[in-house]
A and B are shown apart, each in its own frame.
Chain A
Amino acid sequence: MTEEEIKTTIFQLLQRIAPETDPSRLMPEENIREALNIDSFDALQFIVAINEKLNVDIPEEDYGKTSNLKSLLAYLTKKLKE
């Protein structure tokens, strides 16, 4: 899976959670939850969705590494290569 494909998947999942937003306009280092108004419940849903879609399990201690687009992409790319 290319980084671009991962990005597309992320956008799709975010769009599903926050349908009225445009995730593709997120800045790389912008805090996703703040930018898209995602509360803790939706954040957890997002993690669940990533797990189901990409089969990547993000442990709770890694939540900090997924706060913006740039770090999330890097994190998932790395995980997917493992």
Chain B
Amino acid sequence: MLRFVIKRLLLAIPTLWAVLTTVFVLVRVVPGDPTIIILGDQASEASRMELRQRLGLGKSILSQYFDFMGQILHGDLGRSLATNRPIVDDVLAVLPYTIELTIASLIVGTVIGIPLGVLAAERRDGPADWFARIFSLAGVSFPAFVSGILLLMVFSVQLRWFPVISSANAADPLERLRALVLPSVNLGLLMVAYVTRVTRSGMLKALGEDYVRTARSKGLPYRIVVWRHAFRNVLVPIVTVVGLYLGVLIGNAVLTEIVFNRPGIGKLIVTALNQRDYTLLQGLMVVSAFAIVVANILTDLTYGLVDPRVKTQ
């Protein structure tokens, strides 16, 4: 298994390189530079030019590119243009938040999505099916910033169950968990539609399979037939969707992070882009692309766990 992981990581290197190069080119094509952020809007053109030189932005694109790649090869993400802080520090500071939000949202998405999907499949075309399908769609229809505010209005301001500012009491584990609830529900809702849908169609297929009939012929209660026999066979497509979503969540978390005032990779990427903090942006893209690669590896390893027919060496 270790060999499998190492092999996959090595295979990911060209992907990471391509991602980096694309980002490098794209951010330099976007108009604007970080000098306004650093010098403010009253600075003269001359002092901005001077700063550009100092930041190495005056060099040719190609030599900037080689500098950057050289740095990355040494495992150095460099320093932020805007704050001059080591990028690794910024990343490490927000990474736990991103990881906990991603995992919690996956849990929310599956805990809501799977039962909905199973219910919908069992009661195909019945009212429960319609409810499950429409409810699950609501999650994808409302932009995360709208649903987020609605959640805050009800659960934080009216009921006072959860804090509005997620990162306020980060040191206290219980508070931190409490602060995680709403954001993960908000982000998880996005996934519900897909999980419900995959579960429903998988279950519809599975419930029609011969082995389900076999299970019923054993006189097993319906619950057991559904969950032990049919559902176990739907895990593969569910894992596929969840794995794909790991990547989607990292990027889409930004809205949730903004609305719930959480730090996170997504928010940092958007800020870096808005400030034209090229080095920070590049560093963050390395991290997020790498996270997606890891997510893919985890997905593949999970296949081996849920389906005995898949072999992972």
Partners in one complex: no
Residues of B at the A interface (CB closer than 8 Å) are none
